[in-house]
Every structure is written in C-alpha cells, then in structure tokens.
Amino acid sequence: MRRIAALTRSPIVIALVAGFALAGCASKHAPNSAADLGLAGSATPGSTQDFTVNVGDRIFFNTDSSSIRPDAQTTLTKQAQWLQRYPNYSITIEGHADERGTREYNLALGARRAAATRDFLASRGVPARRMKTISYGKERPVATCDAESCWSQNRRAVTVLNGAGS
C-alpha cells in the first residue's frame, strides 16, 4: 500500500469535551505538632525543642488555599506569644504545597501561604523584621503517599527558628 497525499499544514482538530467533575478535595487535619502526639513537657523552655514540641512549628492549609484556618490561628497565636517571650529569635517561614498542582503554580502558592502566615504573626505582635519567608512549592514533602492523608500534611507553613539569637 502506498500513500500519495497532499499535505495540509493545518493541525488536526478533534474537539474533545472534558466532562469530568472536579474532584472534591476534603481536607483533614493532620497532627499539628509533637504536642498533639503527647510528647510535650520535657523540653527546655525557650529552646527550639520547646517551640516545636510545646507550641507547634507548623500549620496546615486546605487545598489550593492560603487562608489561615481556625486550628492554625490557635497555633500561630501560641507561636507569636512564644516569639515575644523569646525576642532573640528571628524566624524563616517556609511555605509548602502538596503535589496536586503544577510546579510553578505551587511555588507561588507556597509563597502565598508563607506570606499569610507571616502576616498573621505580625498581626499578633511579631515584628516584621524578625521574619523572612521562603517557598518550597511542592519540592519538600514530609509525607509521601499518594493520598489526601499525606497531601494534607504537605500543605503547610513551617516556622523555623534561626539560631538561638544573640
């Protein structure tokens, strides 16, 4: 068989109607900190361990959202109180996304989460000059399963203490 065909350069047009419904993305609350896991109490007051264990170093977000949830407000309020008690610490707020988005969009989303976290801490009295933000998008997951139970842990903002201050 042979084909002798005049070539047309126009692209093929096959209309394809995508009729799928959007997936409902329920968010579940992951454990906020080691404190939720019953590990509180043993850390030296004012130490990084104290912050992580007794205050909680991270908050979580709903899918594709940078709104500070009520549970996160509680955590951040405690963070702000702790940071005011220990004013020598500066912090870096890391914004993260789950992997259910594309890379560049998720870099932007992680940045927006970090900024929202910073702004909430500022509203609770943490001076802006003590805070930096960075987005890791979806590049630094803490949970790696292909399920909402992991994605909900990765949609997070982590408050990292920079040194013990001086």
Partner 1 sequence: MKSILGTILLTLAIAAGFTATVTLPAHALVEIDINKGNVAPLPIAVTDFLSGDQTGAEISGIIAADLKRSGLFAPIDKAAFVEKVSNPDVAPRFEDWKVINAQALVTGRVTKQPDGRLRAEFRLWDTFAGQQLIGEQYFANPANMRRIGHIIADKIYERLTGEKGYFDTRVVFIDESGPKNKRVKRLAIMDQDGANLRYLSNGRALVLTPRFSPNRQEITYMSYESGQPQVYLLQIETGQRELVGNFPGMTFAPRFSPDGQRVIMSLLRNDGNSNIFTMDLRSRTTTRLTSDDSIDTSPSYSPDGKQITFTSDRGGGSGRSQIYVMNADGSNQHRISFGNGVYSTPVWSPRGDLIAFTKQTGGEFQIGVMHTDGSGERILTSAFQEEGPTWAPNGRVLMFFSRAAGAPGAKLHTIDLTGRNEQEIPTPHFASDPAWSPLLE
| Pick 9 or 44: Cβ nearer partner 1 | 9
| Pick 50 or 57: Cβ nearer partner 1 | 57
Q: Which residue has the tokens 């409902």?
A: 24
Query: What is the Cα–Cα distance from 153 to 60, expressed in whole angstroms?
Result: 7
For residue 10, how many other CB atoms are within 10 A of its CB? 6
| Pick 34 or 150: Cβ nearer partner 1 | 150
Q: Which residue has the tokens 């130490």?
A: 47
Query: What is the Cα–Cα distance from 133 to 98, expressed in whole angstroms?
Result: 18
Q: Does 142 bind partner 1 (CB under 8 A)?
A: yes
Q: Which segment (34-42, 50-58, 78-86, 128-136) binds partner 1 by CB under 8 A?
A: 128-136
| Cα 57–Cα 59–Cα 62 angle in degrees, nearest 5 | 165
The alpha carbons of the chain give a radius of gyration, in whole angstroms, of 22
Question: C-beta of 76: minimal distance to partner 1 in Å?
Answer: 15
Q: Which segment (39-47, 51-59, 75-83, 137-145) binds partner 1 by CB under 8 A?
A: 137-145
Binding mask 146-165 for partner 1 (x = CB under 8 A): x-------------------
Q: Does 5 bind partner 1 (CB under 8 A)?
A: yes
Query: What is the Cα–Cα distance from 4 to 46, expressed in whole angstroms?
Result: 81
| Cα 140–Cα 144–Cα 147 angle in degrees, nearest 5 | 125
Binding mask 53-72 for partner 1 (x = CB under 8 A): -----------xxx------
Q: Is 39 helix (H, G, I), strand (E, B) or coil?
A: coil
| Footprint on this chain of partner 1 (rule: CB under 8 A) | 1-23, 64-66, 99-105, 107-109, 111-116, 119, 134-137, 139-144, 146
